[in-house]
Amino acid sequence: MNHQSVKMKRSLYVPLVLFAGIIVLQFLPFVRADSVQSVPAKPLAGVPEEINAILEKSCFDCHSSQSNLSWYDKIVPLDYFVNGHIAKGRAALDFSKWDSLENPARNNLLYYSLNKILEGEMPLKSYSYIHADNKPTENDIAVLKRYLTERTPRKAFDPELVLDSNENLNSPKAVEKIIVAANANGIEYIPEYKDWKLISFSDRFDNATMRLIYANDIAVKAIEENRVKPWPDGAIFAKAAWKSRSNADGTLSTGEFFQVEFMIKDAQKFKSSLGWGWARWRGKDLKPYGGKAILTTECTNCHKPLKENDYVFTKPFLLKNLN
């Protein structure tokens, strides 16, 4: 036997030994990951059967109590990754909690899910690679978009309605006439936000609002220097929202002022609420919204899925090299 043949045989030993080791591991129960419990999830109440079918196929395995694992999902050590992904997925978003949610929260859940699909973040590429049949098709996505648009229709604009909300929001004199009370958690209203830099905007078709997002100097500097994971203490975002109106020509424009809300970063002061202080004022009279517990719970529950982005939904405009 020549030297080359011996070398080739030896080169086969490593993969053969690894393969044999993996086979042996399958019969050793103590090396298996603790399987996540799977309980059949109920169809989402008030949601058409077609939409339920799409969500169940593409989302429920990791985002509900129901996980249909294939035989290859149970192979050691892949089962550690699979069960870990499911546990994280349920913690971030769980459709099994649908019945406990109010309708606005349900709309937000659907809106968030669709956006993650459109952004290409969900399903995870590692999941889609193995479960290609579960990935939402272009038709599935179109059906979801159409359904959400119909679920939260925009109200037609009434030309006889005098809308002075924009003036009330942007006129210093108008604001000076309003005595704005502090939020229930002690956070004071910040009228200067209107002079901050605009860093993004969003059209929330799930609740028919159009939003402008402003950032203070600390947040703007963090964006310029790409220091946003996490955001530095002192960074503040203001999100002003108007009800969107559908015009006769099919275009959209801002209607009645809806609310302004703030996210204030202080990792220690607001440690119990994801490191952010949350505050919201509603209507033209800027009335503080909700009690401390209600406001904080609503905001943190909504933002928890964005842990990897320091709980911030906004993707700011590129602000580098502007000087």
Give pLDDT tens digits for 208-238. Answer: 788 899 999 999 999 999 999 999 999 999 9
Burial of 116 (0-12, 13-18, 19+ CB in 10 A): middle
Asked if the bond preceding 232 is cis, omega within 30° of 0, the reply is no
Q: Tell me which of 190 and 169 has the higher pLDDT.
A: 190
What pLDDT was estimated at residue 35? 61
User: In the structure encoding, which two tokens stand for residue 58, read together?
Assistant: 């593409």
What pLDDT was estimated at residue 188? 93
Tell whether pTM > 0.85: no
Compute the average pLDDT of residues 128-133: 76
Give pLDDT tens digits for 79-99. Answer: 667 777 777 778 878 898 899
pLDDT exceeds cutoff 60 at 170: no
Domain 165-309 has CATH 3.50.70: yes
- Give the chain's mean pLDDT: 77
C-alpha to C-alpha distance for 8 and 130, rounded to whole angstroms:
32
C-alpha to C-alpha distance for 116 and 141, rounded to whole angstroms:
11
Q: What is the CA radius of gyration of the chain?
A: 25
What pLDDT was estimated at residue 66? 84
Residue extent(s) of CATH 3.50.70 domains in the chain: 165-309
Give pLDDT tens digits for 255-277. Answer: 788 999 999 999 999 999 999 99
What pLDDT was estimated at residue 105? 80
